[in-house]
Structure 1
Amino acid sequence: MYHDQRLIMRDGMLIGALERMCATLEISPSQAALAKERYDGVGEWLAGSDDPLLKLMGIFLQGSTAIGTTVKPIGSNEHDVDLVAHAPGLGDWVEPVALKRAIGDRLKANGHYKPLLVEMARCWRLVYANEFHMDITPSIPNRACNMGGELVPDRALKIWKPSNPKGYKALFLERVKLAPRFRVTKSLHTQDRARADIEPYPDQVRFKGLLQRVVQILKRHRDVFISVNEVDQSLSPISVLVTTLASQSYEYCVRTFTYDTELDLLFDVIRHMADFIEARTVNGRMHWFVWNETTKGENFAEKWNADPKRAEVFFTWHARALSDISRLKDAEGLDGLKRHLGDAFGSGPAKAVVDAITNDISASRRAGTLAVAPRVGLVTGVAAATATPVRANTFFGR
C-alpha cells in the first residue's frame, strides 16, 4: 500500500470518472418514476381479475432495478425492469404453466397492454419502445423456506424452483451499508508526511453507493467484452451471478482490510470474486456452485454444469476485467483516460465522461480555480497544497 497524497488524488480523479460513467448508464429518476407508475398499473389490473388464480396478486420489483444496479444495454435505450407477480394464496398444486397462462390472458384482455405484450419462456414481457421493457415472472410462496422465499417456474414451465427476490434484495442492501476503512495521509505540508492515520475518508470524490457502482462497472465491462469478442450472448455471465459474487467479495474485503482509496477496494473486490465460487468434482466432472444465500437449492451457476463453456467465458472475462480496470491507473491525460475507458466500457460512455470533465475544467479555468498537481494532472475546485495555479487564459492540450 502507498501513502502518497498525490497518488490518492489521482485515484480520486479516476473514481470520479468511473462515477460519471455509471451515472450515464443507470436508469434516471424520471425513468424510475415512470416505471413505477406503470408496474403499479399492471399490478392493479392483475389483482382486479375474477380469476381465482390471480386473487390477491401483487407486483414487486426484483433484480437490478430493485437494488440500484441497472446498466443500459449496448445498442439500446431500453432498460430491463424485472417484476414478480406473486400469488400469496396459492401452493405448488398449481402448475406453473397454468399461472403463467392466467397472467397472460388477463394482460391480453387490456387493450393498452395487449399490443405491448411478448411471451417469453417463463414470463411475460411488456415492451415500451425506447424506454424499458418489463418482465413479469409468476411466483407462489415457498412454504418450505424459513427465509420467506418463493417458487418460480423453470424455463420449461414443468416445475417450481426456489427463489427469494425480496430476501436477496434485503441482503444486498445490508451489504451496501457496510462502511470500508480507509487510510488518509496528512497534508504534504505537515512534518510527518509519511505517516498515515485511520480517519474518515474525505468526501471530495466518492462513489454513490460503492457496492452498487462495483456491480455496474462489472456488468458494463462484461457487456462490452461479450460484444467486442463476439462471444455467443447465451454464454454471457448472468447478472445475478456477477452481483452475488461481487457482494460476497465486497463484504469480505470491507470486513478484512483497510485501503488507501476506493479504487484499491474496487480492484480487491474484483480480485476476490472467484474465491466465492464453489467447485466440486461430480462423476469425474467439475461442477460449479454459486448459491443463493437466502433460500435453499438455487444455484446461480447451474447452467455452467450443463455447458462448461459458460464457466470458461466467466473466468476469461473476469481476468480481463481485473486487467482492464487495473490499467486505468496507467492513463495519461484526458486522451489516455478516454482510450482506456473506451477499451473497457465502450466509446460512448468514455466520450461522455471526458466531455463532462472537459466542461468542468473550462468552468474552473474561467473561475480561476484550476490547478495542476505533479503526477496528478489538472485539479478543479480547491487546489491541492502542491498544485500550481493555472492562469485563466492558459490553454491546456489533452
Structure 2
Amino acid sequence: MPESRYDQAVESYKSLGTWFYRPASTVRTFDPDVYVQGSFRLGTAIRPHNEAEHYDVDSVCELKKLSKSAGSQSELKELLGHEIKAYRIAKNMTKPVRPGRRCWILEYADGAQFHMDIVPALPNAQGQRLLLESRGLDTRWAGTAIAITDNETWNYAILSDEWPRSNPRGYAEWFKGRMAGEFEKRRRVLAESRRARVETIPDYKVRTPLQSAIMILKRHRDMMFLGKHDIRPISIILSTLAAHAYNGEETIGRALVSILAVMDQFIHHDGMKFIIWNPTDPLENFADKWEAHPERAEAFFQWLARARKDFREATGLAAYNSMASRLAPGMGRLLTERAETRTGRGRGIGRPALLRSASPVPAAPLAFPPEPRVPSKPQGFA
C-alpha cells in the first residue's frame, strides 16, 4: 500500500482529534484521545482488491476523563456521534455519517477511497485488572484496556458496569514485541537513509518481514474468498497466528514458510470449540464465532492448506516469472505482474539450502535471496 495512504489516514484521525478539542466541543472536557487501531496501526493494511472498494481506517475516540458510571453505551455513542456529524458538516463532506454496530462510519469523498470507523470508548484499566486478577490471569496489558460500545449487547441502553472490552494499544505493543529485533534494525536503516533521527521515524513507516508476510497472506485470503466475505478468515486471526509463528526471520520468504508451517499450532481446542486467545486479554477468544458458524473454521483450514500448497510450489521454482505465474491465481495477476516487473522479468535466482520446519507439512526449498534487501525508498524489504 502506498505510504501516502498511511499519511492520509494519520492526518484524518489527527484532524478529528483537533475538532474534538476545539473550544465549542461538547466532549473537550472529557479529554478525548483519538488513535488508529487495526491493520493501519499494525502496519499490515493492504490495497483494496479493486477501485470500488475502500480502505477501512479503524480508529478509537477514548474519552479519558469519563467513566462507565456516567451513562450508558448508547449515551456515549450519541454524545460522540453529535460531534462527528458536526465535523462532517464543517468539513463539507457530502456523505452522511452512518452508525455501525460498535462505531460511527465517516465516509470521505470518492477520490479519497477510504472511510473511517470511529469507536467510542472509555478507560477500563482498573476494571480489566480486577477482572483478570479475580481469575488468576495475566494482567500485564491491562493498563491500556478500554470499554467500547456495541448496540447488540443486552445492556446497551441502560446504566451498567459490564461493557464490551478491547485493548488495541496493548495488542499493538504485543505485536511489535514479536518482531522487535527486526523492527528496530529496519527503523535504524530507514532513519539513516533519510538522514533523520531514529525516534522521528513513525512506526507505520517501518516494514518488517512479519508485516509483509501478513499482507501477502491477507491478499491470498481475499483472492480465495472473493464474494464470500462472510466466511473468510478475519484479519485479527491471521495476524495473531502469524505473529505467534514468526521467529525473527530476516526475509519475507523465510517468514512466509515459517509462519505457514506452524501457525495452526497456536489454535487450541477444548473438546467443544476452537480457541485463539487474544494475547492481551486472556478472556477473549478471537475464534468465538466459529462455534456458531463452523463453516468459518472449515474455511480457515481450507485457506491454510491452499496457502501452504501455493507458496510451497512457488518457492520450488527457480525464476521470478515462473513464481509469478504460479502465484497469480492466488494473489491476483496484476499484483504478481507488478512484483515480477520490480524484481526483473524472468531473472533466475539460486536456491539456498533446504529450510526444514517442525511442521508435519514439509517446507520446500526456498527460492528467495538469503540476505535482507535494503531499498532506496521504504516500500518494503525482501
Q: Is the 8 A contact 2:147 2:163 kept in 1?
A: yes
Q: 1:53 deviation in Å? A: 8.7
Q: Give the whole-Å Cα distance in 2 for the aligned partners of 1:373 and 1:325.
A: 16
Q: Is the 8 A contact 1:46 1:103 kept in 2?
A: no
Q: Give the whole-Å Cα distance in 2 for the aligned partners of 1:310 and 1:373.
A: 38
Residues 312 and 341 of structure 1, relative CA distance in 2, 3 Å threshold? same
| 2:268 pairs with one of 273, 278, 290 | 278
| 2:240 pairs with one of 239, 244, 247 | 244
Higher Cα radius of gyration: 1
Q: Give the whole-Å Cα distance in 2 for the aligned partners of 1:296 and 1:46.
A: 33
| 1:175 pairs with one of 173, 178, 181 | 178
Summarize deviations over 1:319-357 as a string: whole Å, max 9, x none.
111111111123354442221221221111011112223
TM-score by length of 2: 0.72
Q: Give the whole-Å Cα distance in 1 for the aligned partners of 2:251 and 2:44.
A: 22
Q: How does 1:309-324 map to 2 (within 5 A)?
A: 309-324=295-310
Identify which of structures 1 and 2 has the higher relative contact order when contacts are C-alpha pairs closer than 8 Å and 6+ apart. 1
- Match for residue 127 of structure 2? 144
Q: How does 1:1-398 map to 2 (within 5 A)?
A: 26=1, 28-48=2-22, 50-51=25-26, 55-76=30-51, 78-93=54-69, 94-110=71-87, 111=89, 112=91, 115-116=94-95, 117-128=97-108, 129-131=110-112, 132-142=114-124, 143-146=126-129, 147-148=142-143, 149-154=145-150, 156=152, 158=156, 160-178=163-181, 208-227=207-226, 230=227, 232-250=228-246, 253-254=247-248, 263-281=253-271, 286-331=272-317, 333-358=319-344
Supply the RMSD in Å over aligned alpha carbons.
Answer: 3.0
Q: Give the whole-Å Cα distance in 1 for the aligned partners of 2:218 and 2:12.
A: 26
Q: Give the whole-Å Cα distance in 1 for the aligned partners of 2:105 and 2:269.
A: 35
Q: Structure 1 residues 335-344 or 42-51, which shifts more?
A: 42-51
Q: 1:136 deviation in Å? A: 0.6
Aligned pair count? 304
Ranges in structure 1 where 5+ consecutive residues have no aligned partner: 1-25, 181-206, 362-371, 381-398
Q: Structure 1 residues 306-315 or 329-338, which shifts more?
A: 329-338
Q: Is the 8 A contact 2:319 2:349 kept in 1?
A: no
One-letter amino acid matched to 2:82:
D
Residues 43 and 155 of structure 1, relative CA distance in 2, 3 Å threshold? same
One-letter amino acid matched to 1:139:
A
Equivalent position SS for 1:297:
strand
TM-score by length of 1: 0.69
Runs of 4+, deviation exceeding 6 Å: 372-376
